[in-house]
Structure 1
Amino acid sequence: MVRVLFIHPDLGIGGAERLIVDAALALKSKGHIVSFLTNHHDRNHCFEETRNGMFPVKTVGDWLPRSIFGRFYAFCAYFRMVYAAFYASFVMSKEEKIDIIFSDSISVAIPILKLARNTPKILFYCHFPDQLLSAKGGFLKQIYRAPLNYFEEFTTGRADKVFVNSKFTLRIFCETFQRLNIIPNVLYPSLNTAFFDSKASGDSKNVLLGISPEAFVYLSMNRYERKKNHGLAIEALHKLKTTLSRKDWSSCYLVIAGGYDTRVLENVEYHKELQVLAKQLDVEDNVIFLRSLSDEDKIALLKRINCLLYTPENEHFGIVPLEAMYMEKPVIALNSGGPTETVVNESTGFLVEKDVGEFSGAMLKLFNDRKLCQTMADRGRKRVVQKFSFEAFSERLHEIVEEMVFNK
């Protein structure tokens, strides 16, 4: 039995959050004691497992600013995480023995976490180098980012073990952190299929009121962030409209669903931008916007749709295609990043270039061929069960923590 503390900036709703919650579930299932430390935890905007008492969740430093006059978000995020690290090392470690700290997203906390009593082992999970996630800027932005980028590389190297979420991220990691003599291991995120089965086994909840059961529904599901590129799905829908008869168009819908936090200005702005785009392209009557779905609603939605559209370019991994494939839905994704390791082109879906015409063409193929939809759906579910099972993920993570603590 190992005591594991997960430390994460914001226990909201997103792919990174889903991964660490699943990692916590995996370790708990193996008999380990698991808890969370975070800077922010909104019980109305989080995964169910972090609010239903399954795991102890401690929030510290939420009073610290998230930005300074609408700027310096990265610096503030680093500072908030440093505060949490000091709390873990000098308060929590006195109250209980911590064997392993599972850190992700922000590595700057790692040297401070090593100061904790009994010197816990640090496992760092790199979803993607943070310095590559920030928008490019001018000379002043480069000066601002330079020390942050240096500390990211230096502190990442202080972890006892480093893992990444895909072969794509592994390549980017090695290209970005060239001074580190580290080649991380790949630990693919998994899907908690038992949870999906339990939520999908009952009567389907109607999350698309007013939409005919015979209608063909596409889904683009990701946070309301510009880099997630929901606009490509709307533009492809507009292109599809020009190829369909009036009757077929009346039974064709696109759902845009994703994490939405009113504290995040980009979420608010991008949601409005997408609504404007749908209106400009004259497809607003066939586009439905949903925000921050509960797990139950998300699974009900995946059960109802016909096809998933996955629009981010060079996505680090992307858990949503796995969720859709397990729910027996074909996936149309960009031919880059993590989806190239999960979606098999022309078998479980289509991998296409970042082109409205190509995206729309793949959408048309599935709209016109329901048998092909079902064939791809069946293959997709089998692939998730065979390659990304929660059981294999749990066993691998169990082996990792035991090796780190007991030097097995």
Structure 2
Amino acid sequence: MTSVFLAAIAAGVVSLLLTRYSITLSHRWRLLDHPDPRKVHQKSTPRLGGVGIIGAALLVGIPAFAYLANTHTDAGWIQVKHYAALTVGAIFVFGMGVLDDLWQVSSKLKLLTLLAASFVFSASGAGLHELVYDFEAFISFPWLSWILTACWITGMAVAFNFIDGLDGLAGGLALMAFGVLAYFQLDAHNYAPAVAPMVMVGAIAGFLYYNHSPARTFMGDGGSLTLGYLIGAMTIAANDEPQLGTMRAMVIPSLAMSVAIVDSALTMFRRRYQQRRSMFTAERGHIHHRLLDRGIQPHHVTLLIHAFSAAAVAVGCFSLGFDGWHTLGGLALVAPLIWALFHAAGSMRTTEMVSAIRKKRAIDRTSRRHRSSFEALQLEFDSASTFREWWETVCNAAERLHFARLVLPIAPAEGTDERTFTWVNADIDLGGEGLHLDANLPIEIAGGRSTIAEVRIPIAESLESAGERLALFSRLMADNGRYALRRVTRQDASVKPVSPTLPVGEFGGLRVAVVHDFFYTYAGAERVVEQIIRVLPQCDVFGLFDFLPEEDRGFLHGKPVRTTFLQHLPFARSKHRAYLPLMPLAIEQLDVSGYDLVVSSSYLAAKGVITGPDQVHVCYCHSPVRYGWDLQHQYLDEAGLGYGPRGLFARVILQYLRTWDARSSLGVDHFIANSQFVARRIAKFYRREAEVIYPPVDTDAFVPAGDERRDGYYLAASRLVGYKRMDLIVEAFTRTPERRLVIIGEGPEKRRLERIAGPNIEFLGWQSHQALVRSMQRANAFVFAAEEDFGIVPVEAMACGTPVIAYRKGGVTESVSEGKTGVFFNAQTPESLLEAVDRFEQGEPIEDEDRLALRRSAERFSPEVFTERLTMLLKEVTGGGVPLSGVSQNKVTAQRFDNLEVAAEARIEAPEEDHSNPGEPSNGLPLRADS
């Protein structure tokens, strides 16, 4: 023990000498820290005092540790490894700190240096492997050791660097921390590890002789960063000692740094949320600055912080006298002590902090929305080929960035007179008393010409937001002024000034958001979205994620999809169903608060997007979540989740999904169902009425053949998955080998189906559109055995002039008419299906007029009918294109339904409704293929 104290005294003497020498050199070489508004000192002062501290520690500490270390035991070798790595890291950090004192190194480089030094220390085997309490490890996390170690050491170094702002403040705290650590090491008879903190005590004491107020030198970043690193690393090394077995040597010294640690946390918060600036930028808001602003003298501030830190250490030491968990209760008393200091200084104001978080989140949401609009507008500018299109895009940009007015004097084409084009936002009162920002933007045009655009931007939320919108608009004009106008000014010179300009379309006065569940393929639901965009061309598109391949993106008309955090999760592209429990949360994060009309296309989560009382939300519901409601048991059984722990977990998830699904339906103002079948499900599960608008089927792409020839086979086309019941069709036709069946499609069930199929069944796999149409035209009939919400493929078959044999349940009962366009079977069994095929073949052969009747029946579901009915409904719910603010119409009137039905029937005469008994064969004359 005597050797330990002698080493401390020697370190103090060496530190006195080195610090004095560093002061002399600093004055000689003019290496001084000059005063500025952020700093407290009034005259230039040397800042290389850290050389005295670290130099003394290395010169005395290394020989003393080598003398005391017991290398004949495993524990001794562990200590040598730990402290050797600690020394290497300290030299690394000290070198970077001195470079910063001399030439100003970037904060990010200093941070990387601290992390690298922490990893060197961890590589020696030291680290936060576990939390030890009462000589037992009660939490072990070896897989996080390196990360937690780096966070602890780096955090301690940053905290110590932040608190180094007054004479003697940081040095006194370090003296206290190292002194307490040395005491616990000596108390445990760990003399070699004890010499390290004791040497630091001596070195810091020698430095403080020159650093007390008024200071003759500062320790600089070389000293503060290294001392913080050493405190963090030595407390971890003490916690890792095999003989100690308790965290007291880590916790109690850290209490000496409690003021510095809390100050650094509040500093990060303040810079991030209250000042909204880089966390690496220096400012004047630390605890010592706040206390100085209260009128307290600098040396009194130092003594006050030292006193609170000493009190925290005393509370910690006092808590060690308790047994068991009472020790933690005693340590908890430090929290109100530290809170009182920061609250008195004005650093901790809970109300202001919460308000800052909310304000920053609001600004960030607005900023993300504007940046998303900016990216979408860049694409719109790229597609502008005439001046009219360019000017309309400029007006659209001004409207989406919430401008009040835009005035642009410009010549639409070379050789034409200059005109003044004006756009005014009809939603903003230009004569109001609200604050606004006026600016003149120079825009460079082709041929070296330029013009000045005058803009007015309302300061509704903050000047920061207005400035950002102005900057984004300036970028758009800079990127799409000179080069875009060079491309378009030679065209469309006859354009007239536009004032004001709104997006085109019958609903141009509305800001519209279209929300779809997710985009990864182009199928029936995406065809609905395509037609919605045609009706509402000014809309913005939202979804949970967007993994559409480029060749399938045409239906979006170049619109970007604004997605959620699911877009960036691992394996989201290939395993997105695994994130089902997160989808309700994700859809609610989409911000559509800036839109008048929200149209959701939902079969899972899209209808759950949050809307306000002054917004109209129309939901096109493809189906309530199938596996969450009446088909839960079927889906679980098919997935092998009918029982066991995985099945129980799946049922818990589905119960949560059902609850959310029902609750989210309350936020929808108007439901549209894709069939009467789905409308009944909506009424059953949501207790809401829904208007039926059948989904669009591209009947123009499916046409009858030019001749009457049939190739004598039956056709089934579908994705080969369980709920499509292709196994039922295969089993039925295997029993009748004289009948030929052709199956088009791919899917996970294909191999199983091929194993049970007879030689009369042919699998063609995936086929092109042209091949699918030819197969439909030549088939005797199309066989459909699934219970679908609507069923698009049977309608496509009818458009080709081919009748349908379908299961009498679901939406297909509304598109197929018994005895006129097809035949139904009543049970999903091979016997029932074969009985329907027999009835079909006993009917009359298909003639030309039959094909025309099938075609006319399919045309009831054309895209034109869909868009017409959707347009009529949207006109009514929005008051003819004007939002009905604050009005929520939950019931669709019978008059509107009648109007829509009349409109549809005016286009195409619907076939007579079939009133035959669902359980009996129809009395009508069934169709029969001519074999």
Q: Normalising TM by the smaller chain, what interval?
A: 0.7 to 0.9
CA distance in 1, matches of 2:722, 2:871: 36
Q: Which residue of 1 aligns with 2:718?
A: 222
Q: Which residue of 1 aligns with 2:741?
A: 253
Q: Specify every segment of 5 or more residues in structure 2 that has no aligned partner in the other structure, as ranges.
A: 1-504, 637-641, 885-931
Q: Which residue of 1 aligns with 2:664?
A: 155
Whether 1:188 aligns to 2:694 is yes
SS in structure 1 at match of 2:845: helix
1:182-218 deviations in whole A, cap 9, x for unaligned? 2122222232334546xx89x99xxxxxxxx863232
CA distance in 2, matches of 1:324, 1:381: 9
Q: Which residue of 1 aligns with 2:871?
A: 398
Whether 1:58 aligns to 2:537 is no
Instruction: Report the CA distance shift for 1:21/1:331 in structure 2 as closer, same or farther (over 3 A).
Output: same
Alpha-carbon distance, 1:34 to partner: 4.2
Out of 582, 601, 613, the residue aligned to residue 79 of structure 1 is: 582
Letter in 1 for 2:600: F
Instruction: Report the CA distance shift for 1:19/1:111 in structure 2 as closer, same or farther (over 3 A).
Output: closer
Q: Are the equivalent residues in 1 in contact too, given 2:734–2:761 (CA < 8 A)? A: no
Q: Which residue of 1 aligns with 2:119?
A: none
Alignment of 1:136-175 (within 5 A): 136=636, 137-138=642-643, 139-175=648-684
Out of 731, 740, 763, the residue aligned to residue 288 of structure 1 is: 763
CA distance in 2, matches of 1:235, 1:299: 25
Per residue, is there more strand in 1 or in 2? 1
CA distance in 1, matches of 2:556, 2:609: 30
**Deviation larger for 77-86 or 330-339:** 77-86
Whether 1:233 aligns to 2:729 is yes
Alignment of 1:366-377 (within 5 A): 366=840, 371-372=845-846, 376-377=850-851
CA distance in 2, matches of 1:16, 1:326: 19
Alignment of 1:197-208 (within 5 A): none
Whether 1:321 aligns to 2:794 is yes
TM-align CA RMSD: 3.5
Alpha-carbon distance, 1:254 to partner: 1.6
Letter in 1 for 2:622: H
Q: Which residue of 2 aligns with 1:208?
A: none
Q: Are the equivalent residues in 1 in contact too, given 2:675–2:693 (CA < 8 A)? A: yes
Runs of 4+ in structure 1 off by over 4 angstroms are 293-297, 364-370, 373-376
Q: Which residue of 2 aligns with 1:348?
A: 821
Identity %: 20
Q: Are the equivalent residues in 1 in contact too, given 2:621–2:672 (CA < 8 A)? A: yes
Alpha-carbon distance, 1:147 to partner: 1.7
Q: Are the equivalent residues in 2 in contact too, given 1:254–1:287 (CA < 8 A)? A: yes
Q: Are the equivalent residues in 2 in contact too, given 1:239–1:357 (CA < 8 A)? A: no
SS in structure 2 at match of 1:333: strand
Alpha-carbon distance, 1:98 to partner: 6.3
Out of 97, 103, 109, the residue aligned to residue 601 of structure 2 is: 103
Alpha-carbon distance, 1:9 to partner: 1.8
SS in structure 1 at match of 2:731: helix
Letter in 2 for 1:42: L
Per residue, is there more helix in 1 or in 2? 2
1:91-132 deviations in whole A, cap 9, x for unaligned? xx5xxx5633323112466343x26xx965322122222113
CA distance in 1, matches of 2:796, 2:659: 36
CA distance in 2, matches of 1:79, 1:54: 29
SS in structure 1 at match of 2:743: strand
Instruction: Report the CA distance shift for 1:41/1:55 in structure 2 as closer, same or farther (over 3 A).
Output: same
Instruction: Report the CA distance shift for 1:318/1:373 in structure 2 as closer, same or farther (over 3 A).
Output: farther
CA distance in 2, matches of 1:81, 1:10: 16
Q: Specify every segment of 5 or more residues in structure 1 that has no aligned partner in the other structure, as ranges.
A: 205-212, 261-266
Q: Please, what TM-score do these two structures have when normalized by structure 2?
A: 0.34
Out of 261, 265, 273, the residue aligned to residue 752 of structure 2 is: 273
Letter in 2 for 1:158: G
Q: Which residue of 1 aligns with 2:546?
A: 40
Instruction: Report the CA distance shift for 1:65/1:400 in structure 2 as closer, same or farther (over 3 A).
Output: farther
Q: Are the equivalent residues in 2 in contact too, given 1:78–1:106 (CA < 8 A)? A: no
Q: Are the equivalent residues in 1 in contact too, given 2:520–2:549 (CA < 8 A)? A: no
Instruction: Report the CA distance shift for 1:330/1:356 in structure 2 as closer, same or farther (over 3 A).
Output: same
Out of 311, 319, 322, the residue aligned to residue 785 of structure 2 is: 311
Instruction: Report the CA distance shift for 1:236/1:13 in structure 2 as closer, same or farther (over 3 A).
Output: farther
CA distance in 2, matches of 1:311, 1:55: 37
Q: Which residue of 2 aligns with 1:264?
A: none
Q: Which residue of 1 aligns with 2:397?
A: none
CA distance in 2, matches of 1:140, 1:77: 13
Instruction: Report the CA distance shift for 1:65/1:379 in structure 2 as closer, same or farther (over 3 A).
Output: farther
Q: Are the equivalent residues in 1 in contact too, given 2:710–2:780 (CA < 8 A)? A: no
Bigger Rg, which one: 2
Letter in 1 for 2:730: I
Letter in 1 for 2:651: Q
Alpha-carbon distance, 1:326 to partner: 1.2
Q: Are the equivalent residues in 2 in contact too, given 1:107–1:124 (CA < 8 A)? A: no
Q: Are the equivalent residues in 2 in contact too, given 1:307–1:329 (CA < 8 A)? A: yes
Q: Please, what TM-score do these two structures have when normalized by structure 1?
A: 0.73
CA distance in 2, matches of 1:236, 1:5: 43
1:203-258 deviations in whole A, cap 9, x for unaligned? 99xxxxxxxx86323221222220110111111211221xx3xxxx5xx332232x
CA distance in 2, matches of 1:308, 1:140: 40
Q: Which residue of 1 aligns with 2:171?
A: none
Q: Are the equivalent residues in 2 in contact too, given 1:218–1:306 (CA < 8 A)? A: yes
Letter in 1 for 2:663: F
SS in structure 2 at match of 1:224: coil
Alpha-carbon distance, 1:148 to partner: 1.2
Alpha-carbon distance, 1:380 to partner: 1.8
CA distance in 2, matches of 1:170, 1:53: 27
